[in-house]
């Protein structure tokens, strides 16, 4: 959701570098974009509504400059217009700024500035920050005025600021991602919302923490702690992501690339530092109240976790969506443990849940993919899932890796981490068969049959009930077909009224204690004309179409979601949707 990219260094094609960097951030979701670059005595700004890829070689890409910044905007304050796109600037472009996040008290500050004569042309909160910096600039230096403006901002933000007469970049963050890439030539820096955007140039990074600011000049860089008002030192960290891991390679889309990577990503997730798994398992056992918290797909993974802990560790844990977690605040104490699940580690609702929990002294564990994320940085313990960059909006490989970690934790709580690990290793090797083209061709037969249906349903029981819900999310977000997941037992309490002749119903039938009951639910659906697509290790009489999955016991949620991910991808392609960038969605939802 919104992307920032900026460059300062010896290269003279900064605008082009910035546009390329923004393209790499497209997966985050956006509806308009813009670039600003410094000339000898001015800052040139260009903004557009629409896709960056529509950008042809032209004056912007050819402009010569060594200092530029860009932004891809996902509208929150103000509609999708060029005026509201970033960069935002003061009247004479003295201060130019890009911003992610939400400036919560902007209306109040805007009124104060209007009284002082400031005129605003956009509806954005971002423009208010530019004017605020300009106002402070009447008394202070560029650095001081940015710092003073930041101190007035309530909410989360990541900003990059340019000033007309300064060859410097000021950048700061709080609760919104921002990473500095350190280039190979001396004094070259990239600033971006995510590492893959500059991975082509460098794998050396500096992570800014909350309330920290960097002042980057042509020949110098310094870091400040905004709250303590003092200079600080920051470490350069070398990361082991490579360019290939964040590119599509020979695959037509990131989504299918990421689905196909799951054998490897699962193996990486399982190969955790045993110490951290044991430490978290101990914390779960010692806690008085454990909450699994996440949003969207990560939330469904949390729900799977609730079942896994019950089944494997005989332990009751609670699940809550990030946006609902606040309702449990009265039950939180210093003995509570919160386990947050997130691919990006930047989801605003989950971050807010953490804030609520921290106020009550709750210990936080996060299971995240982006190790540099805000969530990872504010947690007491972190289990990295190590899935590598996930760029398709629809989460696939991160999902199965998160389930694998929860499975491992559940086994560890029962003293059987080795058994859990072995089971997961076997599962990883078995899913290999599901990731070959023949398996995809089989699923394509059903994709072609159902590609024009209006609605479809998914049923599951036990730990495969949340997988039915997750299947619905996958199908909704990329195929745009109305899809809903139900607990098999709930059908006859209402949803079965939706079934008519040939309504596709996917039944997730694991070889476990729920098998008989979910098959019976499928039979009830079939009796009302439903078309049953069975996802199961064995072919059952009630199935009209069978998708075979390996029989893996407790890891059935992992193997059951993979064919649905493939089906969702195929439906998206058949229906001519972009599976990587579905309409109205952003990869990481950084606003409430």
Would you name the residues annotated as active-site residues? 2, 587
Query: Least distance (Å) from ligand M6R to the CB of residue 502?
Result: 27
Among residues 474 and 526, whose Cβ is nearest to ligand M6R?
474
Pairing assessment for the beta strands 337-342 and 290-294 based on DSSP bridges: parallel
Asked whether position 296 contacts ligand M6R by CB under 6 A, the answer is: yes
CA dihedral angle for residue 529, residue 535, residue 536, residue 539, rounded to 10 degrees: 50
State which residue has the least CB distance to ligand M6R.
Answer: 296
Asked whether position 393 contacts ligand M6R by CB under 6 A, the answer is: yes
Q: Out of 65, 356, 588, 590, name the contact with ligand M6R by CB under 6 A.
A: 588
Query: Least distance (Å) from ligand M6R to the CB of residue 344?
Result: 3
Query: Least distance (Å) from ligand M6R to the CB of residue 476?
Result: 9
Asked whether position 212 contacts ligand M6R by CB under 6 A, the answer is: no
Residue 4 to residues 46, 142, 171, 267, 395, Cα–Cα distance (Å) = 15, 21, 11, 32, 22
Instruction: Write the interaction track for ligand M6R spanning residues 127-166; mark x where CB under 6 A is met and - where it is not.
Output: ----------------------------------------
Burial of 187 from C-beta contacts in 10 A (0-12 / 13-18 / 19+): middle
Question: HEC profile for 215-264?
Answer: EEECCCEEEEECCCCEEECCCCEECCCCCHHHCCCCCCCHHHHHHHCHHH
**DSSP class of 397:** H
- Residue written as token pair 């030192």: 233
Residues 332-391, interacting with ligand M6R (CB under 6 A): 342-344, 347, 350
The window from 54-62, 141-149, 458-466, 581-589 that contacts ligand M6R (CB under 6 A) reads: 581-589
Asked whether position 295 contacts ligand M6R by CB under 6 A, the answer is: yes
Grouping H, G, I as helix, E, B as strand and the rest as coil, residue 363 is strand
Asked whether position 589 contacts ligand M6R by CB under 6 A, the answer is: yes
Closest to 371 measured CA to CA, from 183, 179, 157, 580: 179
Asked whether position 473 contacts ligand M6R by CB under 6 A, the answer is: yes
Asked whether position 479 contacts ligand M6R by CB under 6 A, the answer is: no
Query: Least distance (Å) from ligand M6R to the CB of residue 537?
Result: 26
Among residues 136 and 569, whose Cβ is nearest to ligand M6R?
569
Residue 569 to residues 8, 388, 439, 480, 551, Cα–Cα distance (Å) = 39, 20, 14, 11, 24
Q: Which residues contact 105 (CB under 8 A, 6 or more apart)?
A: 152, 153, 154, 155
Instruction: Write the interaction track for ligand M6R spanning residues 522-561; mark x where CB under 6 A is met and - where it is not.
Output: ----------------------------------------
Residues 235-294, interacting with ligand M6R (CB under 6 A): none
Which spans of this chain sit near ligand M6R (rule: CB under 6 A)?
A: 295-298, 342-344, 347, 350, 393-395, 473, 477, 585, 588-589
């Amino acid at each position: 959701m919104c992307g920032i990219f900026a460059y300062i260094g010896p290269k003279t094609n900064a605008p082009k570098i910035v546009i390329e960097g923004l393209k790499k951030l497209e997966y985050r979701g956006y509806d308009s974009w813009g670039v600003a670059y410094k000339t000898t005595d001015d800052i040139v700004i260009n903004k557009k509504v629409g896709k960056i890829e529509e950008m042809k070689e032209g004056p912007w890409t050819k402009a010569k400059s060594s200092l530029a910044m860009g932004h891809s905007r996902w509208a929150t304050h103000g509609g999708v217009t060029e005026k509201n796109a970033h960069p935002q600037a003061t009247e004479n472009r003295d201060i130019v700024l890009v911003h992610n996040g939400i400036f919560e008290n902007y209306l109040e500050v805007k009124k104060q500035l209007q009284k002082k004569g400031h005129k605003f042309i956009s509806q954005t909160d971002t423009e208010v920050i530019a004017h605020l910096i300009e106002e402070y600039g009447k008394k202070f230096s560029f650095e001081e005025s940015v710092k003073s403006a930041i101190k007035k901002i309530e909410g989360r933000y990541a900003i990059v600021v340019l000033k007309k007469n300064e060859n410097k970049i000021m950048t700061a963050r709080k609760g919104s991602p921002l990473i500095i890439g350190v280039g190979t030539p001396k004094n070259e820096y990239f600033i971006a919302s995510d590492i893959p955007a500059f991975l082509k140039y460098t794998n050396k990074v500096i992570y800014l923490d909350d309330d920290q600011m960097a002042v980057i000049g042509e020949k110098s860089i310094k870091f400040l702690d905004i709250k303590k008002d003092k200079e600080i030192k920051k470490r350069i960290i070398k990361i082991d992501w490579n360019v290939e891991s964040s590119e599509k390679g020979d695959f037509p889309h990131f989504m299918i690339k990421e689905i196909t990577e799951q054998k490897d990503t699962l193996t990486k997730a399982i190969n955790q530092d045993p110490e951290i798994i044991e430490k978290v398992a101990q914390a779960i056992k010692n806690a008085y109240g454990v909450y699994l918290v996440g949003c969207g797909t990560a939330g469904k993974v949390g729900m799977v976790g609730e079942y896994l802990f019950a089944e494997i560790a005989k332990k009751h844990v609670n699940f809550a969506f990030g946006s609902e977690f606040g309702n449990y605040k009265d039950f939180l104490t210093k003995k509570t443990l919160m386990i947050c699940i997130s691919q990006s580690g930047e989801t605003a609702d989950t971050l807010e849940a953490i804030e609520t929990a921290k106020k009550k002294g709750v210990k936080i564990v996060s299971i995240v993919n982006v190790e540099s994320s805000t969530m990872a940085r504010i947690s007491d313990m972190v289990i990295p899932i190590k899935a590598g960059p996930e760029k398709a909006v629809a989460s696939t490989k991160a999902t199965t890796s998160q389930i694998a970690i929860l499975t491992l934790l559940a086994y560890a709580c029962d003293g059987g981490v080795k058994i859990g690990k072995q089971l997961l290793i076997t599962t990883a090797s078995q899913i290999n068969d599901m990731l070959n083209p023949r398996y995809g061709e089989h699923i394509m037969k059903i994709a072609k049959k159902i590609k024009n249906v209006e609605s479809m349903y998914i049923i599951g029981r036990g730990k495969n009930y949340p997988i039915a819900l997750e299947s619905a999310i996958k199908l909704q977000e990329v195929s745009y077909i109305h899809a809903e997941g139900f607990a098999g037992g709930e059908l006859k309490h209402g949803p079965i009224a939706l079934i008519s002749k040939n309504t596709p119903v996917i039944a997730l039938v694991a070889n476990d204690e729920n098998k008989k009951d979910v098959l019976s639910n499928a039979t009830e659906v079939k009796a009302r004309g439903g078309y049953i697509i069975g996802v199961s290790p064995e072919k059952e009489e009630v199935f009209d179409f069978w998708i075979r999955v390996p029989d893996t016991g407790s890891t059935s949620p992992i193997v059951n979601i993979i064919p649905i991910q493939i089906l969702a991808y195929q439906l998206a392609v058949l229906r001519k949707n972009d599976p990587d960038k579905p309409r109205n969605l952003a990869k990481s939802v950084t606003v409430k």
